[in-house]
Amino acid sequence: MALADIFTRNEGSASTRATVARRYGEVPTIQGEGMVALQAWVDEIAALTQPERIHWVDGSRAENDALLREMVDEGKLIKLNPEWRPGSYLARSHPSDVARTEARTFIASEREEDAGPTNNWIAPDEIRATITPLFEGSMRGRTMYVVPFSMGPVGGPLSHIGVQVTDSAYAVTSIGIMTRVGTEVLREIAGGAHWVKTVHSVGAPLAPGETDVPWPCNDEKYIVHFPDTLEVWSYGSGYGGNAILAKKCFALRIASVIGRNEGWLAEHMLLIRVIDPAGRAYHLAAAFPSACGKTNLAMLRPTIPGWRVETLGDDIAWLRPGEDGRLWAINPEAGFFGVAPGTGASTNVTAVETLWGNTIFTNVALRPDGDVWWEGLTDEPPAELIDWEGKPWTPASGRPAAHPNSRFTVSAAQCPQIADDWEAPQGVPLDAILFGGRRATNMPLVVEATDWTHGVFMGSNVSSERTAAAEGTVGELRRDPFAMLPFCGYNMADYFGHWLKIGQKLRFDRAPRVFQVNWFRKGSDGRFLWPGFGENSRVIDWIIRRIEGEVPAIDSPIGRLPRTEDLDLEGIEVSQDDLAELFAVDREPWLREADLTEEFYRTFDGRIPAPLWAELAALRYRLQRG
C-alpha cells in the first residue's frame, strides 16, 4: 500500500501515520536530541502533505547529479551543450510563475503594528486556517525532500541554520547552489543548534498514474512568514525566492527579526574588498534597489590602474558588531541568483565569465547549438532562438527572447574575482556602507554622511524616481529604505531604530563611514552625466581617501561633497558643466523632497525614532538657511 493511500484512508493515529512516513525515507543515523525534534517535525509535515516518499538530502555530488538527470528525463530541465556550457541546464517555468509574488507575501506577526505599513500583514491563526487545508495532501504522488542548510559557513559564529521541506527537485538543486547543504548541518542540529523551519510545496499533487508537467505550480500562491515562531510556509510557486526559502524569506525577512532580537543586521547588501595600488584592503557593503547597479558593483573591474576589487557577496550581507567596536560582515549565501537580461561582456564581464558551466538557467532563450542567450548578453541577437516559452524566435518577433526576470543560479566559488577568504567564518570588518538609488535628479554622484545617525537617515530615504521624474521634476518616488522594503520582516520604523541601536555598539572611530551614491543623474538634455560601470571605481577611490583622511570635503545642506579636483578623472571625459550638475544641491527641489520624507515618515503612526525626525528638521533648516 502506498504512503499516500495510507494517509488518504486516514487509518490509525497521527503518531502511527508519522511512523509510516518515517519508514519511507532514508532517515539519517546521526544521533542527538536535536535530531529527535527534527524528525518529529518532518513526520508532522509528512502527515499533513502526504508524500509518496521522503528523501533526506545529504548534499553530495552524486545525489545532485541524480536529481538533475531525473529532471532531464522528466522533461523539467534541458541539458545544455557541454561543449559550450558544461554541467548546465535550462528550466522553463509556467508563464504564470515567473517572479516573486509580493502581493501574496505575508508577515503573520501576532500584532499588526509589528508588521508595519510596508508589509502585508495577516493574523497567524487566520492564515494557518487558510493554508493548512491547501497543504493537506499537497505532496501526494511526489517526493518530499528534507534539505538541511546553513546560511554562512557551517558552525560559523555569524551563521544560522534552516531546514526546508519541499516537493520540488528544482528547488533542492537550487538550494544546493545557494547554501551549504548536508549532513554537517544535521550534526549541528543534533548538537542543539537552533534551526528555522521552512515548508514549501508547489501545490500540484499527482493522482495515481498521472503524468507530471514540466513546471508544476498552482494558481493560488502564498508565501507566509511567522516572525514570532521563525517559520516560513510557501505554497503554489516553484520560482526563485518563492521556492528557495533560504534566500529572501530566511536570509532577510526572518533573519532581520533574528537580528533585531540578537543585536545584529540582516541586509540586502553586496559585499566587496577594494585593494588600492599600495595593497591596502578596504571592505564595503552597499544597499541598492533593483536595477541600480548592485551586481555590477559587486563584480566591479576598476578602470583606475592599480586598483582591484574582490567579490565577497552580491546580494545579502549579515552585519554584527564585534568586540573590537567594528561592524563585521559575512555573505551568508554560497551562490549567485542573478537576473540574466542586461548581463553581458560590456556591462559585467565578471558575471559572464562566472557562468561558464555548472549553472541552472531559468527562462532564458535556447540557441540552436544548445547554448543559451538573453537580451544584453551580446550586442547582436542570434538569427534564431527558442524563446523562454519554448516558441521559435527571431529578431523580428517583436517580443523578448528571454523573460525580463530570467535567472542564473551558480556557485559563488566560480566567480573569477571571488576573494580567497570569502567563506571566512568570522567575516570581514566594514570600512564603509553605501546606499544608492536610481535618481535622474536631485541626488549627487556621491555624498558622505556626517555621522552614523545621519547615515541611517540617508538609508531610510533610499528611493528611485518613477518614469515621470525623467522629465526633470522631483515627482513620485518609489521608496525602498535600505533597499529592504520588500524584505524587512517587521515594522520598518522599528528597523530604523534598530540601526540606530547598532551604531551605539560601535566605536565612533571604528564604525563604517556611510555614503550615498547615484550613478544615474541626468542632465537637462536627458543624458546620463556619469559614465558608470567600471568608472564607478573613481567614486570608490574618493570614498577610501575620505576614510583615510587624505582629502577634505565640502559641507552642504545634505552632507559632505567632494571637491571636483579630488576626483581621479584621468582617462575619462566629464566636462566641468557636467561635474557641476552632478554635485548640484538645489534648495527648492530638496525642500520638496523633505516634504515627501515627512509624508513617508507619517505613515508609520508615530513609530519613527526621534533622531530621524531631528535629522529631517536639521535638513530643512540648512536648506532654508541657504
Cell of 78: 534541458
Average pLDDT over residues 418-437: 97
Give me the pLDDT at residue 28, please. Answer: 80
Give me the pLDDT at residue 16, please. Answer: 44
More confident residue, 119 or 292: 119
Cell of 554: 565640502
Beta bridge mates, 231: 197, 226
Question: Which of 25-29, 170-174, 429-433, 617-621 has the lowest average pLDDT?
Answer: 25-29
For residues 361, 362, 368 and 371, what is the CA-based torsion angle, rounded to 10 degrees? Answer: -10
Average pLDDT over residues 179-186: 96
Q: What is the pLDDT of residues 562-574, one digit of tens each?
A: 999 999 999 999 9
Is the pLDDT at 18 greater than 60? The verdict is no
Average pLDDT over residues 155-184: 97
Is the pLDDT at 467 greater than 80? The verdict is no
Q: Which domains does the chain have, with CATH numbers?
A: 3-75+100-263 (3.40.449.10), 267-333+424-584 (3.90.228.20), 335-414 (2.170.8.10)
SS3 at position 594: helix
Cell of 112: 499588526
For residue 549, with 0-12 CB atoms within 10 Å meaning exposed, 13-18 middle and 19 or more buried, which class applies?
exposed
Give me the pLDDT at residue 534, please. Answer: 94
Q: What is 163-210 written as a DSSP string?
A: EEEES-HHHHHHHHHHSEESHHHHHHHHTT--EEEEEEE-S----TTP
Residue 292 annotated as catalytic = yes
Average pLDDT over residues 110-131: 98
d(CA 21, CA 7): 9
- Under 8 Å between Cβ of 169 and 139: no
Q: Cβ contacts of residue 411 below 8 Å, gap of 6+?
A: 177, 334, 335, 336, 358
Is the pLDDT at 179 greater than 60? The verdict is yes
**Exposure b/e, 266-300, CB count within 10 A at least 16 = b:** bbbbbbbbbbbeeeeebbbbbbbbeebbbbbbbbb
Average pLDDT over residues 586-608: 96
In what helix (H) or strand (E) does residue 273 lie, and over which residues does it extend? strand 270-275
Beta strands 231-235 and 195-201 are parallel
Cell of 401: 527572447
Average pLDDT over residues 213-231: 97
Is the pLDDT at 356 greater than 50? The verdict is yes
Is the pLDDT at 20 greater than 60? The verdict is no
Give me the pLDDT at residue 52, please. Answer: 96
Give me the pLDDT at residue 25, please. Answer: 55
- Say what the pTM is: 0.94
Torsions phi, psi for 126 (to 5 deg): -65, -45
- Under 8 Å between Cβ of 590 and 605: no
479: how many CB neighbours lie within 10 A of its CB?
A: 19
- Residue given cell 546553513 in the structure block: 150
d(CA 57, CA 61): 11
Which one of 217, 249, 292, 415 is the catalytic residue? Answer: 292
- Under 8 Å between Cβ of 393 and 365: yes
Is the pLDDT at 476 greater than 80? The verdict is no
d(CA 271, CA 429): 11
Give me the pLDDT at residue 433, please. Answer: 98
Is the pLDDT at 65 greater than 80? The verdict is yes
- Under 8 Å between Cβ of 374 and 346: no
Angle at 359 between CA 185 and CA 97, to 5 degrees: 90
Average pLDDT over residues 129-148: 98
Q: What is the pLDDT of residues 84-111, one digit of tens each?
A: 999 999 999 999 999 888 899 999 999 9
Q: What are the CA-CA distances from residue 56 to residues 22, 26, 245, 570 (Å)?
A: 10, 6, 17, 57
SS3 at position 590: helix
* First vs last C-alpha separation in the chain: 81
When pLDDT is cut at 50, 70 and 90, the band that residue 466 belongs to is low
d(CA 427, CA 440): 35
105: how many CB neighbours lie within 10 A of its CB?
A: 22
More confident residue, 510 or 29: 510
d(CA 402, CA 416): 25
- Under 8 Å between Cβ of 298 and 269: no
d(CA 93, CA 71): 13
What is the rounded average pLDDT for all residues in the chain?
93
Q: How far is CA 154 from the centre of its chain?
A: 20
Beta strands 222-226 and 105-107 are parallel
Q: How far is CA 542 from the centre of its chain?
A: 28
Is the pLDDT at 409 greater than 70? The verdict is yes
Cell of 207: 493522482
Average pLDDT over residues 27-46: 92
Question: Which of 88-97, 287-296, 481-490, 566-575 has the lowest average pLDDT?
Answer: 287-296
**Exposure b/e, 574-609, CB count within 10 A at least 16 = b:** beeebbebbbebeeebbeebbebbeebbeebeebbb
Q: What is 221-261 written as a DSSP string?
A: -EEEEETTTTEEEEES--SHHHH-TIIIIIIIIIHHHHHHH
d(CA 511, CA 325): 7
- Under 8 Å between Cβ of 480 and 269: no
d(CA 68, CA 88): 10
Instruction: Return the percentage of the chain with pLDDT > 90, whole number.
Output: 90
Average pLDDT over residues 160-172: 98
